[in-house]
Amino acid sequence: MGCYKEFPRRIVIYNDAAMLAFLFFGGMIIAGLGLWALPVYLLVLTAAFTLTFWTICSRCSYYGLRCGLGFGLPVKRLFKKRNESEFMHTGGQYLAGFLLAIGFIFPLVAGVLSVIRGVWLWPALFLASLLALIIPHPKMVCRRCRQRESGACGIGVLITPKTGHS
């Protein structure tokens, strides 16, 4: 099984739906913390995705193509192509990853606090969307991705190592 030149639309639609659900339910949990929390969360996510598109996606071999998350096409309209050999090797890319991690961890922590307070709906929906996003991702995306295959994506290599039968 080889890598996709462009990912099938069905994979992109699934990933984007799961990611939007994750972000929406995470936002609902965050909003429960108070009026200050949601704008801070949205600011972190905006910075994280902007930096990801500018510093990571612009260096990806799927730049201008349909990647597993569908980012390659719009990124081409927003940012110029950068050196692919720098993929995941610059400070800006590490900062983008750090901000993305905060965007994932913040609603997890807030969800635990919500459950402690007896609020279950948003945390349950958030957890379901998180699992829907991360469980199939390695099989659906990583193992068919050129960035993993080339060794450029350390996370992809770590979670779906080459076996010779990928």
| 40-71 pLDDT, tens digit each | 999 999 999 999 999 999 999 999 999 999 99
Per the structure, the count of domains in the chain is 1
Tell me the C-alpha distance between 5 and 30, whole Å.
37
User: Would residue 165 count as lying in a domain?
Assistant: no
Q: Is the pLDDT of residue 153 over 50?
A: yes
- Reference 155, options 58, 56, 20; nearest CA is 56
Is 87 within 8 Å of 152 (Cβ atoms)?
yes
Assigned token pair, 94 = 């590490």
Residue 115 and residue 90 in contact, taking contact as beta carbons nearer than 8 Å = no
Name the DSSP letter for residue 55.
I
Q: Beta strands of the chain (E only): which ranges? A: none
Query: Quick check: is 2 in a domain?
Result: no
Domain assignment of residue 103, yes or no: yes
Q: Specify the pLDDT at position 143.
A: 93
Q: Quick check: is 141 in a domain?
A: yes
Q: Please report which confidence band the pLDDT of residue 163 belongs to, taking 50, 70 and 90 as the band edges.
A: low
Does residue 39 lie in a domain region?
yes
- 166 located within any domain: no
Q: Which one has a higher pLDDT value, 4 or 2?
A: 4
Identify the band that residue 166 occupies on the pLDDT scale cut at 50, 70 and 90: very low
| pLDDT at position 28 | 96
Is residue 1 assigned to a domain? Answer: no
Q: Mutual orientation of helices 121-134 and 91-116 as an angle, nearest 10°?
A: 140
Q: Is the dihedral of CA 138, 52, 63, 162 positive or negative?
A: negative
Domain that holds residue 115: 9-159
What's the distance, CA 122 to chain centroid? 20
